[in-house]
Amino acid sequence: MVELSPPQLDTVFHALGDATRRQMLRHLAEGERTVGDLAKPFAMSLAAASKHIKALEAAGLIHREVRGRTHLCRLAPGPLASAHRWLGFYERFWTERLDGLERLLREEDARRTRTPEGDKR
């Protein structure tokens, strides 16, 4: 899998930053859709849907194919995989920190259960 450059990754996260576009991607995960199909749940015009679709295309998140007068869109998962790998670093970062905090809290609990309540050490 090809890693995205920082500007490409910025474009992916910009596209994912919009709730409408994220929902469109969710629909596309179920299979290809027309622009009209993607616009329908949002009660938006085809022109407005097209702007969202262009942002998703610019990020490489979808492919659009024109068949006659119909524009069909399908998910392109590669950039999502790159974004997931990038986020994975921070997932590991926070998991390690939270695991460390859990260890400290368990050690503190263990010390408290070994020391009688009134014992001042």
What is the DSSP track for 35-80?
HHHHHGGGT--HHHHHHHHHHHHHTTSEEEEEETTEEEEEE--HHH
pLDDT of residue 120: 55
User: For the chain, what is the mean pLDDT?
Assistant: 89
Q: Does the global pTM surpass 0.75?
A: no
Q: Which domain holds residue 106?
A: 1-115
pLDDT of residue 24: 96
What does the pLDDT average to over 35-52?
92
Binning pLDDT at 50, 70 and 90, where does residue 90 land?
confident
Tell me if 56 sits within 8 A of 41, measured CB to CB: no
Question: 120 lies in a domain?
Answer: no
End-to-end Cα spacing for the chain: 58
How many structural domains is the chain composed of?
1
43 Rama sector, left if φ>0, alpha if ψ -120 to 50, beta otherwise: left
Report long-range pairs for 111-119 (Cβ below 8 Å, ≥24 apart): none
Question: 66 lies in a domain?
Answer: yes
Quick check: helix, strand or coil at residue 116?
coil
